Chains A and B, each alone.
Chain A
């Protein structure tokens, strides 16, 4: 059906947006890419009395790969971020993760900030933020501002720790750096029934291997679709740290995610199938991350 009527507000500045959001209260929704919100409005699952459109606030659209981090304004389009020169080389996990988001047209409008604020448990951006220990800046009324680290952002289904009058403004993800001491590889692997569908289960994985002996100096694993939010599989990470990234070690780590997930049964998959898939996608992502890190080690030795 068609969306219900709403008041349309198109602020030109962040202050204007925050003021209107505060004024209109619980019944207002912020509009970023609209690729999640507008379908909900079309089904009338969401019927906000006011939409505050952030797309005219120019200060929110930046996206750049810096020395140590990926910095994105909340309204940075996913396709714009994916096309940043050098992103795939700096962090394959981010480039691959974005490529798994829906389809081209979705990524042309969908935004980094919108995905994080929407907090779909099957969305890729929350996993990337968690895996990389990223943080977001948030603006409130009257110039209030705070920074929220990834681990404090996602509370439950479609719920973040943002207050109703707060707007997510910037996202920063620390990028791994291959140094003289170690080489890094990462990957994002999903299982979905159709290309571009929401993940039934997905894993973002990153491994740092020491140049000296190829043991794991740092392991990051974040899973989607298998709990009420994206989740860091810290027990599995701990198992990997300090040891060789052998097939056996990766097998063990993949099995270990079992204790950190709580998958539901729904029309797409049973909880048992999701539980199985969680281990499969973790194992595949870890293998890709390991192989890419090993290749970087090899290239470093030759170079």
Chain B
């Protein structure tokens, strides 16, 4: 089927591009919008590397067609960073915690983990280690062995709760 226009909000900004219906949201974000922070691991919904937020809920962007996202709000890893008054980049508390706790090595799985963790902490601001492991069980990491990822999420949670 011919390409059709897809209009959506990505990281707070209205974006639009053309896509064949068979183009996944993951490929659309990467190739049409140049947002290559969303990664392709397994492309069949198992590894979680492609995780983004759609309307604040985590989704496998490899299992959504871009045309389905028309009219929706997407958050990618690029949307986590903010900017200070001097224009300098300010890391999201999760990103800062991942950095401090060495929760990434090659970084391939990291965007997916960050967005999954963002949703986890939004619904459960004071998680136990067990619920962090359960909540992130849909994201695979081949480098770290997960312990530092769990520590980083718990650290970010505790900091968000600080006054």
Contacts and interface: CB of A to CB of B under 8 A. Distances in A.
Given A2-B24, A3-B22, A42-B44, A109 B59 contact: yes
A280 B142 CA distance: 32
B61 to A, nearest CB: 9
Contacts of B48: 103, 105
Contacts of A79: 57
26 contacts: A1-B43, A2-B22, A3-B22, A4-B22, A5-B21, A6-B22, A7-B1, A34-B65, A34-B68, A35-B45, A38-B45, A39-B45, A53-B67, A79-B57, A103-B48, A104-B116, A104-B135, A105-B51, A105-B57, A105-B59, A106-B45, A108-B57, A109-B63, A109-B64, A195-B137, A196-B138
Given A4-B22, A42-B62, A196 B44 contact: no
A273 interface: no
B60 A8 contact: no
Given A42-B62, A105-B51, A195 B134 contact: yes
Contacts of A35: 45, 60, 63
B101 interface: no
B117 to A, nearest CB: 11
Interface in A90-106: 102-106
Interface in B1-51: 1, 4, 20-24, 27, 43-45, 48, 51
Contacts, number: 85
Contacts of B43: 1-2, 42
Interface string B48-86: 100100100111101111011000000000000000000
A4 B21 CA distance: 10
Interface string A187-215: 00000001110000000000000000000
Contacts of A3: 22, 24
Given A53-B67, A195-B134, 12 more contacts: A5-B20, A6-B21, A8-B65, A31-B68, A34-B64, A38-B45, A39-B45, A51-B65, A104-B119, A105-B57, A108-B59, A196-B137
Interface of B: 1, 4, 20-24, 27, 43-45, 48, 51, 54, 57-60, 62-65, 67-68, 116, 119-120, 134-135, 137-138
A69 interface: no
Interface of A: 1-8, 10, 31, 34-35, 38-39, 42-43, 51, 53, 55, 79, 102-106, 108-109, 194-196
A105 B138 contact: yes
B137 A103 contact: yes
Contact of B21 (A38, A51, A108): A51
Contacts of B120: 104
Contacts of B51: 105
B121 to A, nearest CB: 12
Contacts of A55: 68
B21 A7 contact: yes
Nearest to B21: A8
Contacts of A102: 138
Contacts of B59: 105, 108-109
B122 to A, nearest CB: 11
A292 B120 CA distance: 29
Nearest to B64: A34
Given A42-B43, A105-B58, A109-B63, A53 B22 contact: no
A39 B22 contact: no
A5 B62 contact: no
A1 B44 CA distance: 9
B67 A8 contact: yes
Contacts of A6: 1, 21-22
* B22, B54, B67: residue with the most chain A Cβ atoms closer than 10 Å: B22
Contacts of B137: 103, 194-196
B50 to A, nearest CB: 9
Contacts of A103: 48, 137-138
Contacts of A195: 134, 137
A3 B138 CA distance: 22
Contact of B116 (A7, A105, A196): A105
A55 to B, nearest CB: 6
Counting from the closest, the 5 A-B pairs by CB-CB distance are A103-B138, A8-B21, A39-B44, A108-B57, A105-B58
